[in-house]
Amino acid sequence: MTALPKIRLIWLGVTAALMALTLWMIFLWVPTEINQGNIQRSLYFHVPVAWIAMVAIVLVAVASVAYLKTRDEKWDRLAVAGAETGVIFAALMLITGMVWAKPVWGVWWTGEPKLTTTLILFFIYVAYLMFRAYFPPGEQRRRLAAIIGLMGAIDTPIIYYGAQLWERAHPSAVVGSDSSIDGPIGLTWMVATLTFSVLFVYVASERYRLRKQEDEVMALRRAISLQPSRTPSSSMDNAEPISSAPAGGA
């Protein structure tokens, strides 16, 4: 077994171990929050996946800038891997947020600016991936997709500071210097954030590897299609002449 598969297996094992630890801490170790009850445990899923969804679009933007500067396709593959993984976390961010909001606020969706900008981020992911799926392959698709990725990253700071910019029902940021989470709740939240971060890196790296293999297969198919095909006439021209003499003796 080579070094690379070993690293992948080790990373997968670490991810699984961290996920098991995180689930144990969330459902068995951390105490139940007094005000919200068990529904508050959604915090340990919602905040980490929201964080990863915003980190992923920043990764897409950074990789897009690197591609526009170097025209190296590895950066384009990294942007695609980040977007395809990030859209999953963005969907989970919306779902866990609504599951948390229903018992606390009494509604699934309030339409406040922070939630609306979060929904916009999800649509940016979808638009990026749909553009790549339906626009003809080539340099122009990669360049325009990079521009879309850059536009998507602009939404990230708006989401992060949304609760501070518009005072509504949504709580303030729990990531950064303004965070007030501490004690067992804070420790569980940090472990959950680490776990989902490791999961994101693993899934995105696997998707990058598959994307590279897909590009190599497509390049091979194009090379085969450009090779001149041998016609039957050319095969006959290269064949040895057949003698017209009778088979039997005189």
Q: Which residues, 6+ apart, have CB-to-CB distance to 15 below 8 Å?
A: 195, 198, 199, 202
Residue 147 belongs to some domain of the structure: yes
- Work out the pLDDT band at 82, boundaries 50, 70, 90: very high
- Tell me how many domains the chain contains: 1
Structure tokens at 78: 């990294």
Taking a C-beta distance cutoff of 8 angstroms, is the pair 40, 32 a contact? yes
In terms of residue numbers, what domain contains 178? 39-220
> What are φ and ψ of residue 33, in 5° steps?
-70, 140
Residue 130 lies in a domain: yes
Radius of gyration of the chain (CA): 27
Give the closest residue to 201 by CA, choosing from 66, 71, 10. 10
Residue 163 contacts residue 114 (beta carbons within 8 Å): yes
The reply to whether 247 falls in a domain is no
Residue 65 has pLDDT above 80, yes or no: yes
Assigned domain for 245 exists: no
The pTM for the full model equals 0.80
* 85 in any annotated domain: yes
The amino acid sitting at 54 is M
Q: Which of 58, 50, 56, 132 is nearest to 91 (CA)?
A: 50
Q: How many CA atoms, within 13 angstroms, populate the side-chain half-sphere of residue 100?
A: 19
Distance CA 215, CA 213 (A): 5
Give the confidence band of 64 by pLDDT, cuts at 50, 70, 90.
very high
**Average pLDDT of the chain to the nearest whole number:** 82
